[in-house]
Structure 1
Amino acid sequence: MKICIYGAGAIGGYLGVELARAGADVSLVARGAHLAAMRSAGLKLLINDEERVVTPRSTDTPSELGVQDVVIICLKAHSVTGVIEQMQPLLGPRTRIVTAVNGIPYWYFYKHGGVHENSVLESIDPGGRQWRELGPERAIGCIVYPATEIVAPGVVKHVYGNQFPLGEPSGETTSDVKALAALFTAAGMKAPVLDRIRDEIWLKLWGNVCFNPISALTHATLDTICTDPATRALSRAIMQEAKTIAETFGVNFRVDIDRRIEGARKVGAHKTSMLQDLERGRPMEIDPLVTVVQEMGRMTGIPTPALDSVLALVAQRAKIAGLYEDSALAMSAKAVA
């Protein structure tokens, strides 16, 4: 299977090493010092007290790679629209796109059914470019549960986890998703094929929608947010709003709010990705994790007062830090109006 990992950072690098070791024809799209290191010495994964090194083709010019069987997008969700044109040479009539990104993916309402079938979410796909130019029919959903980090250019450290649930938007178990799941399994990962992939997307988003912005505003780690009475109550309020919205779209939650919060508390003194981005001066994933939930609430007429307040604050914080584009803020303001 010919696989391009578009965005071979921490998660993409982890996948790249393990899939290559399992026999896939892997290529990596990256940039900067990380790319230079991979070109000169290969890509190294530190896992289970061992070093695993592979030397797949690495480039910052996707057109060099040709048409792929699968493109796994491992970019920050807000970065995807900006690379659509560069991605086109990778896409053939049978190419599948795996969205290994946080939050709600561009294809969410494809094969969804109901009055919102084929709706485009402006907060995550401005102007519907991903929908039109990548195509929802190519998509396979993927939820990323492992934690990894780049510890040096060309070196990725696996921290914990190996689960990548997969699923077709339609809920079907197609030959494509079965083959991909088999490859992930051969690579030592857990990749169950789900017939309700949106339920799992929301289960992860359920924590991200509250813990991420609260942590960015307070600089608190997960254990503090979940044990402090005030921030725990605020998290619970946002999660209840999100749950009401999701259930309107037919989502089933397999755990309750308190169990989800307890699961986050047990992670311990962990900094959320949004807080890490703020501290490192990187663009913050506000729209795919927070604004999109607000937008979906507006679609159904469900009020989100707790989410609205936290979103307004974290968007302002990110704007002051220069880590949030004005166009995204305009979208947020439009959603509130």
Structure 2
Amino acid sequence: MRYIIIGAGAVGATIGGRLAEAGHEVVLAARGAHAQALRADGLRLTTADGARVHRLPVVAGPAELGELRPDDALLLTVKTQDAIPALDAWGDAEVAGGGTAAQRLPVLCLQNGVETERLALRRFARTYGVCVWLPATFLEPGVVSALCAPRTGILHLGRAAGGTDRLLAQISADLERSGFAAPVVEDVMRWKYAKLLGNLGNAIQATTGPEPSPAKGALLLRAIREGKAAFAAAGIAYASDAEQAAARDGKAEQPPGVVRGGSSWQSLARGTGSIEADYLNGEISLLGRLHGVRTPVNDTLRHAANIFARESLPPGAMSIEDLTALADEAEARP
């Protein structure tokens, strides 16, 4: 099987590099300065095992590969806001022997949030979800670090529509040999909804900085309470805190004392001009509006994060007191 990593950023490059180390064929799809650095200097990947350089094929899109192979697996690791162009471009690519990638090849969605699977299912006959627990850092073109140990990360795998199959068993085995825990589950979206609750804090990190504080924790709890209320109203099941803790226990621990900016913080730090808050806090806002649940805290976090991205404000430029005051004002409105 050949793994094509569509969006070789923090998560994609880490998985691609680790798969390559284990002897698997990997292609990285990337753009701009990052693609240039990957081609010129290789992927400079640091994990708990140390630093090394991987010189892997790098493409901007499917045209550079020609016909795709029937044994290709597409790992979609772009942010949700970039998913539609990627799904369309790769979905239309022709596969040797006839048909398109959307008709014949599997696509695995490795985004935070739950929207990409729905976008992919509209296009791809074989759509899979992956719940990603893989703290990684990507701030400089061509350079990625992921320091968890003893496993580099935890990747729950399942069919987006529910259930499992033989392909997932094979991919799980490949990932396990590459340094990940990769359990195959019947209900992967249940795990992704659970992780979404934690990701509601990404906007807090992005706007006020990654350093933890009681005030940041309190605001996150308010956002999570809204999320759980929206899930309850929508009849959405999610993995419990105990299940998540058991799945992670001792498998992928971050180095002690390391304060790391998450994916949204990194988007602002790299000046990408976009952020995934519409598909994290915005998912709760959407569910709240559909099911009659007020979500003023998540509305505030989504709005603030988007202003930071749109206006290229530096991450952490807002105080948690100011952000909390905005949430309080929104909550007080009728």
The residue identity in structure 1 corresponding to 2:260 is H
Distance 1:200 1:86, change over 3 A: same
Determine which of 207, 210, 217 is the counterpart of 2:198: 207
Structure 2: 5+ residue stretches without partners: 95-100, 246-252, 315-334
Identify the match of residue 182 of structure 1 among 173, 190, 194: 173
Q: Which runs of structure 2 are paired with 1:34-183 in the superposition (5 Å)?
A: 34-65=34-65, 66-68=67-69, 69-87=72-90, 88-89=92-93, 91=101, 93-108=103-118, 130-132=120-122, 134-135=123-124, 137-150=125-138, 152-160=140-148, 161-183=152-174
Give me the TM-score of the superposition, normalised by structure 2: 0.76
Equivalenced residues, count: 289
**What secondary structure is seen at the aligned counterpart in 1 of 2:93?**
helix
Contact map agreement 2:226 2:284 (CA 8 A) in 1: no
Quick one: which amino acid aligns to residue 263 of structure 2? Answer: S
Match in the other structure for 1:290: 281
Contact 2:117–2:128 (Cα < 8 Å) also in 1: no
8 Å CA contact 1:17–1:52 kept in 2: the answer is no
Partner of 1:254: 240
Q: Alpha-carbon deviation of 1:222?
A: 4.7
2:28 alignment partner, SS class: strand
* Distance across 2 between alignment mates of 1:315 and 1:152: 22
Give the conservation status (yes or no) of the 8 Å contact 1:223–1:270.
no
Deviations 1:147-176 (A, max 9, x none): 222465433222224111111123322011
**Alpha-carbon distance in 2 for matches of 1:313, 1:151:** 22
Aligned twin of 1:329: none
In structure 1, the gaps of 5 or more residues are 109-124, 324-337
Structure 2 CA distance, aligned partners of 1:27 and 1:20?
9
Superposition deviation, residue 271 in structure 1: 2.7
The alpha-carbon deviation at position 313 of structure 1 amounts to: 3.6
The alignment partner of 1:141 has SS state of strand
Partner of 2:209: 220
Per-residue CA deviations over 1:131-190 (Å, capped at 9, x if unaligned) read 43x32x321111221122246543322222411111112332201111111111111211
C-alpha contact (below 8 Å) 2:121/2:127 kept by paired residues:
no
Q: Distance in 2 between matches of 1:267 and 1:77?
A: 30
In 2, Cα distance between the equivalents of 1:79 and 1:55? 25
Give 2:133's aligned amino acid.
Y
Contact 2:134–2:154 (8 Å) recurs in 1: yes
8 Å CA contact 1:10, 1:156 repeated in 2: yes
What is the one-letter code of the residue matched to 1:141?
Answer: G
**Are the counterparts in 1 of residues 271 and 309 from structure 2 also a CA contact under 8 Å?**
no
SS at match of 1:89: coil
1:271 aligns with 2:261: yes
For the Cα contact (< 8 Å) 2:38–2:142, is it kept in 1? yes
Q: Deviations over 1:245-268 (max 9, x none)?
A: 223333134128xx9xxx99x986
How far off its partner does 1:244 sit? Answer: 2.0
- Give the 3 Å change call, closer, same or farther, for CA 157–176 of structure 1 in structure 2: same
- Residue aligned with 2:276, SS: coil
Q: Aligned letter for 1:27?
A: V
Determine if contact 2:14/2:144 at 8 Å carries over to the other structure. yes
Q: CA deviation at 1:9?
A: 1.8
Using the alignment, how far apart are the partners of 2:283 and 2:132 within structure 1?
19
Q: Are the equivalent residues in 2 in contact too, given 1:223–1:268 (CA < 8 A)?
A: no
Q: Which moved further from structure 2: 32-41 or 22-31?
A: 32-41
TM-score (norm 1): 0.76
Q: Which amino acid in the other structure matches residue 304 of structure 1?
A: T
Letter in 1 for 2:93: P
